[in-house]
Amino acid sequence: MTQTHAMELRLKAPEQLFNTLDPTPFDERDLDEKAERFIVGWAQDADRDADLRLMILLPPDHMDSAAAGSMPDAVHNYFAYRAEQTRHELRELLRIGWRALAIGIVVLLACLGAIRFLDLFATAPTVRQLAQESLLILGWVANWRPIEIFLYDWWPIVRRHRLLKRLASMPVEVKPIA
């Protein structure tokens, strides 16, 4: 059985959830930065297979407002938008990685060719060995960034994307403070 990780968010007014500088309608507005950090931090603490549920508690006199009624859609829309942004961020990172890999391979092949060239024409063994080692290091350093992207950099973005998708689909209820 899947565990539910529920959070209660107590607000004094519905507007507290939204970014005050965003003039768009409530269901399309950005969440307040502090509210987003709080919700994301709460979700990160949950088990990865736990169902997430957000309960927004408002004073009873705010329950009939348009802002209160649009809160569930606003939360879903905001996190769906953020998930889409992270998907684009991942695609851009991988595009950069492939481009960097192509450049790195060309540089590595050029360095290996230069090492062969030095084998044929360099006469001083110490200078030749120093130049060959330097070229080999340069060739591998040119591949450092694509290796870093493909081995490490994409995982945190994928993890954040999954979390944001979970937040975009979690049930959101708005209830009066008892």
Is the pLDDT score of 68 beyond 90?
Answer: no
For residue range 77-96, list pLDDT tens digits in order: 999 999 999 999 999 999 99
Taking all residues of the chain, what is their mean pLDDT, rounded to a whole number?
A: 90
Is the pLDDT score of 130 beyond 60?
Answer: yes
Is the pLDDT score of 40 beyond 90?
Answer: yes
Question: Distance (Å, rounded) from C-alpha 6 to C-alpha 103?
Answer: 48
Q: What is the structure's pLDDT at 178?
A: 74
Contact 29, 73 (CB under 8 A): no
Q: What is the structure's pLDDT at 28?
A: 62
Give the DSSP letter of residue 6: E
pTM across the whole model: 0.82
Residue 174, classified by CB atoms within 10 Å of its CB into exposed (0-12), middle (13-18) or buried (19+), is buried
Q: What is the structure's pLDDT at 20?
A: 66
Q: Edge-to-edge strands of the sheet including 172-176?
A: 4-10, 51-58, 172-176
State the average pLDDT over residues 64-82.
Answer: 90
Tell me the C-alpha to C-alpha distance, in Å, between residue 115 and each of 24, 119, 133: 61, 6, 8
78 or 26, which is more confident? 78
Dump the DSSP string for 117-174: HHHHH---HHHHHHHHHHHHHHHHHTTHHHHHIIIIIHHHHHHHHHHHHHHHHS-EEE
Contact 115, 135 (CB under 8 A): yes
Q: What is the structure's pLDDT at 1?
A: 61
What are the structural domain ranges in the chain?
A: 4-88+170-176, 91-156
Q: What is the structure's pLDDT at 39?
A: 93
For residue range 147-172, list pLDDT tens digits in order: 999 999 999 999 999 999 999 999 99
Q: What is the structure's pLDDT at 125?
A: 86
Contact 22, 36 (CB under 8 A): no
